[in-house]
Amino acid sequence: MSNYLKKYGLGIVIAGLCHVAAAGARPNIIFILADDMGYGDVSCMNPEAKFKTPNLDAMADHGLMLTDAHTSSGVCTPSRYSVLTGRYCWRSKMKRGVLGGYSPALIEDGRETMASVLKARGYNTACIGKWHLGMNFPTTDGKKAGQKGGGTMTYRNGKRFTDDGEMKTNVDWSGKIERSPTSNGFDYFFGINGSLDMPPYVYIENDRFTGTPTAIKAFHRPGPATVDFEAEQVIPELTDRLLNYIRQQDGTTPFFVYFPITGPHNPVVPAKAWQGKSGIGAYGDFCMQIDHHVGQIMQALKDKGFYENTIVVFSSDNGVENHAYEQFRKTGHNSSAAFRGVKRDLWEGGHHVPTLVQWPAVIAPGRVSNETVCLTDFMPTFAEIADFRLPENAAEDGVSLLPIFQGLERRKPLRAGTVHHSLKGEFAIRVGNWVFIDAPDGNDRDNEPDWYKKERGYLPHNQPGELYDLSVDPWQRKNVYAEHPERVQQMKALLELYKAESRSVPAERRAY
């Protein structure tokens, strides 16, 4: 009998609020992580959305909507590190910024991940999609992998470049890649190392490149590419790989798939069949295409008989890119919904992300939780479900969400505090309804347009930090830092304590 059945009793099982306990009935798990998708881009979470996401809405209807879920960072590499490890990335060697397409591995050797935990409990594990946590590429000269040169770039067909100069790289395309995802607990990997606008533009399978780049392309940054690599085909290719993976499972062994897709991050490249569907332009079309692929995944699970006992999570690695401001002015669609800020920021729009969880065998349909959670919490959640006892140096900043899945009433929040982090490496902390930003401004790149500030009613301030009570000001319009010095001091002290210690969640509280 699993740990959580011992804790919560058979009555929960009989009531249908706990998963099937038989040894062979451990749930399959699929974690879908969108790239730069805002809270307002999922129609069930934003009633004012200008387009619909029916398959994501169906996830909410049939499962759980987490309305107060956050990434650990306003940018992708740090938040992905936290998803897989249950640990804030600023505890690693990466204190700010993101990795590039040639960057070496970030996850520490020997650190437990979602995949390693589940693999240890007998799961088949796969990662299909955008890794962006670094790999150690083989090189021809023994030096750090990279590229030089590029010459004059010529724009063609609205989406690609050709290079009139010389592009040099020291990557050994026939060599073995060290520290690929298969070194982090995944049995199988197919995807790319960085974002879709970062070279090299070549797929990787397990620990090998799938081809030798013979072209120069750019979906923003120019670099080596295989002739058949095209940005608009990447998400369909990744989805097909996932669907085939599901179809190949025979049901005797549970599986876990981490599915970090490459959109709607730049380049915004909806497939032809979706162009014009949203009515607000290519970005909305791309979001609708992603929603369609979620529906394909659900149908594949139904076709194989896995639907009832598969946990499917959908979330995003951070908020929407700053093109959302102009999109809002032109179309009225706000990808950040009511929240202030965008990707990179410490304001809510940088890290408050759409998060849905479906598990028909356990989660009652149509449930909504307003509990403050962080994507660091999913690693210990899956560990508890798999009955894996985490070591002391794992999931230092995560707490199991299983009680929320089960609908159990709680007297206190799961998390005492949640730390937010920006591209520049600045900090904020959320405690209850209050959020303290330990910086003069939550706007990481100072890119919030003046017209937007005026339209949204944001008030200027001249304080060394920001403080908001989100229960009365979820829009973060008025900074009340000067009005609550004692609260600022308390929250600042807790933030500094979390930064000084090796964890923010006591080991004994990671699972309930």
- For residue 120, is it within any domain? yes
* Interaxial angle between packed helices 234-248 and 282-304, expressed in degrees from 0 to 180 and rounded to the nearest 10: 10
One DSSP character per residue, 20-86 reads --SGGGPPEEEEEEEES--GGGSTTT-TT-SS--HHHHHHHHHSEEETTEE-SSSSHHHHHHHHHHS
Q: Is residue 214 part of a domain?
A: no
Residue 457's Cβ-side half-sphere holds a number of Cα atoms within 13 Å equal to: 8
User: Averaged over 3-31, what is the pLDDT?
Assistant: 52
Gap between the Cα atoms of 61 and 366, Å rounded: 4
What percent of the chain is helix, strand and coil (3-state, nearest 5)?
Answer: 30, 20, 50
Would residue 275 count as lying in a domain? yes
Is the pLDDT at 474 greater than 70, yes or no? yes
The pLDDT assigned to 452 comes to 95
Which one-letter DSSP state was computed for residue 105?
A: P
Residue 508 in domain: no
What residue numbers bound the domain in which 446 lies?
Answer: 421-500
Say how many C-beta atoms besides its own lie within 10 A of residue 162's C-beta: 15
Share of the chain above pLDDT 90, in %: 87
Final residue of a domain: which of 409, 430, 445?
409
One-letter amino acid of 477 = R
Asked if residue 386 belongs to a domain, the reply is yes
Query: For the residues of 374-421, what is the DSSP string, one character each?
Result: EGGGHHHHHHHHTT----TTS-TT----HHHHHT---SS-S-S-EEEE
4 in a domain, yes or no? Answer: no
Which band of pLDDT confidence, cut at 50, 70 and 90, is reported for residue 499?
very high
Same domain? For 426 and 334 the reply is no
Residue 21 lies in a domain: no
Judge whether 424 and 96 are in contact, CB under 8 Å.
yes
- Look at 15-24, 73-82, 225-234, 360-369 and tell me which has the smallest mean pLDDT: 15-24
Asked whether the CA dihedral 104, 107, 111, 114 is positive or negative, the reply is: negative
Q: Do residue 58 and residue 115 come from a single domain?
A: yes
* 455 and 318 both lie in a single domain: no
CATH number at residue 131: 3.40.720.10
- CATH number of the domain to which 452 belongs: 3.30.1120.10
Residue 212 lies in a domain: no
User: Among 358, 387, 409, where does a domain finish?
Assistant: 409
Instruction: Indicate the number of domains in the chain.
Output: 2
Q: Are residues 106 and 244 both part of a single domain?
A: yes
pLDDT, position 157: 37
Helix (H, G, I), strand (E, B) or coil at 253: coil
Residue 99 and residue 245 in one domain? yes
Q: Are 352 and 319 in contact (CB under 8 A)?
A: yes
pLDDT at site 9: 41
Looking at the fold, whether 458 and 332 belong to one and the same domain comes out as no
- pLDDT score at 4: 38
Q: Residue 161 has what pLDDT?
A: 43
Q: What pLDDT digit, counting tens, does each position of 212-253 carry?
A: 999 999 988 999 999 999 999 999 999 999 999 999 999 999
- The reply to whether 278 and 132 lie within a common domain is yes
Q: Name which of 234, 137, 218, 228 is nearest 176 in CA terms.
A: 137
Q: What integer is the mean pLDDT of 180-185?
A: 97
Judge whether 122 and 253 are in contact, CB under 8 Å: yes
For CA atoms 219, 353, 385, 303, the dihedral sign is negative
Q: Are residues 258 and 363 in the same domain?
A: yes
Q: Do both 460 and 336 map to the same domain?
A: no
* Together in a domain, 402 and 447: no
Mark whether 310 and 441 lie in a shared domain: no
By the 10 Å C-beta count (0-12 exposed, 13-18 middle, 19+ buried), 143 is classed as: exposed
Asked if residue 368 and residue 244 are part of one domain, the reply reads yes
Q: Domain boundary at 375, 409, 443, which?
A: 409
Q: What is the pLDDT of residue 152?
A: 38
Weakest-pLDDT range from 155-169, 224-238, 451-465, 489-503: 155-169
The three-point CA angle 374-186-508 to 5° equals: 40
